[in-house]
């Protein structure tokens, strides 16, 4: 292992370990609802076919209504994958969404730190470990979608913590009011419908940072870190239910972590109607396999 890669791996482990205690608390307070899953082992050949999973274990609107941004994190990664595969993209979001991330876990509930770090051997970047940890803590605070422009920006609350990797006049960074304070809008990305890297049977909503340097409001530092000259981040999301999306973050096409996006106003306004009808708007290709939400029963 090269020195730069070793430093990146060490910084990633330092970042992940403090979250272990939070896992235990979250598991106790936010138990994962009982959903049905196909059996799966660790070897790739033991993984179930997603079309078969969806046919045999469909999710009803009432099942999806039980899922929350917090209890989703208490499933194993195999279970999260099977949930994601049974979702469609839904409508491309618009407006501000709260963000929450969680790292892959095995069936025993242990974080797959070695797999995450070991799967990214070519992604060492010239960053100090403190800067990398800062990026990890603040990049996933939340996102603002600009549906009509097919653009997105990330919500950053504590810009002071990012100052070591920011160049230029901080007053020129766009802001938005959220709650009782202001947040900075950074790391722009493109929005479009595209193929999922996990489940190619139907499209997902893609959040693509590859050409972030061509987007309005781009600042080389720190925005380049998410782009083609940095971590090469590519996100994809599908809708769990109105106002609630499950996402997957990739770094250089290597899966890194899960995240959720939540808009409480949309969830409250459209939640009851979704449970009753199962009807949603689809902006992306939903695939050829029928998703019979109303035919499924809650378990």
State residue 25's pLDDT score. Answer: 59
pTM of the model: 0.82
Average pLDDT by stretches of 10, the chain with 299 residues = 42 42 61 93 87 95 95 95 97 95 71 49 39 52 94 83 70 77 88 97 96 88 86 94 96 89 97 92 92 53
State residue 23's pLDDT score. Answer: 57
State residue 66's pLDDT score. Answer: 96
Q: Show the tokens assigned to 18.
A: 């403090």
Note whether 36 and 297 are within 8 A (CB).
Answer: no
- Cα pseudo-dihedral 155, 156, 157, 159, rounded to 10: -160
- For the chain, which residues make up each domain, given as ranges? 3-277
- Whole-angstrom Cα distance, residue 257 to residue 77? 10
- Whole-angstrom Cα distance, residue 159 to residue 180? 16
């Amino acid at each position: 292992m090269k020195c730069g890669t070793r430093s990146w791996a060490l910084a990633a482990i330092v970042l992940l370990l403090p979250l272990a205690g939070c896992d235990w608390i979250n598991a106790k307070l936010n138990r994962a609802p009982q959903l049905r899953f196909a059996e799966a082992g660790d070897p790739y050949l033991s993984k179930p076919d997603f079309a078969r999973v969806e046919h045999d274990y469909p999710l009803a609107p009432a099942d999806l209504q039980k899922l929350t941004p917090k209890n989703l994190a208490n499933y194993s990664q195999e279970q999260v994958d099977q949930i994601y595969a049974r979702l469609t993209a839904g409508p491309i979001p618009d407006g501000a969404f709260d963000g929450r991330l969680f790292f892959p876990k095995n069936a025993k509930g242990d974080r797959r730190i070695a797999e995450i770090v070991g799967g990214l051997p070519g992604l060492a970047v010239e960053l100090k470990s403190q800067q990398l940890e800062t990026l990890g803590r603040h990049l996933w605070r939340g996102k603002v979608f600009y549906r009509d422009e097919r653009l997105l920006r990330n919500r950053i609350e504590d810009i002071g913590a990012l100052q070591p990797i920011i160049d230029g006049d901080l007053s020129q960074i766009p802001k938005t009011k959220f709650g009782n304070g202001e947040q900075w809008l950074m790391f722009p990305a493109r929005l479009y419908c595209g193929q999922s890297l996990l489940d190619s049977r139907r499209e997902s909503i893609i959040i693509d940072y590859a050409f972030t340097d061509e987007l309005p409001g781009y600042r080389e530092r720190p925005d380049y870190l998410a782009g083609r000259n940095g971590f090469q981040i590519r996100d994809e999301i599908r809708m769990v239910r109105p106002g609630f999306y499950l996402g997957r973050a990739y770094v250089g096409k290597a899966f890194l972590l899960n995240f959720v996006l939540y808009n409480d106003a949309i969830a409250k306004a459209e939640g009851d109607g979704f449970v009753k009808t199962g009807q949603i708007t689809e902006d992306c290709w939903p695939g050829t396999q029928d998703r019979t939400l109303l035919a499924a029963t809650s378990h």
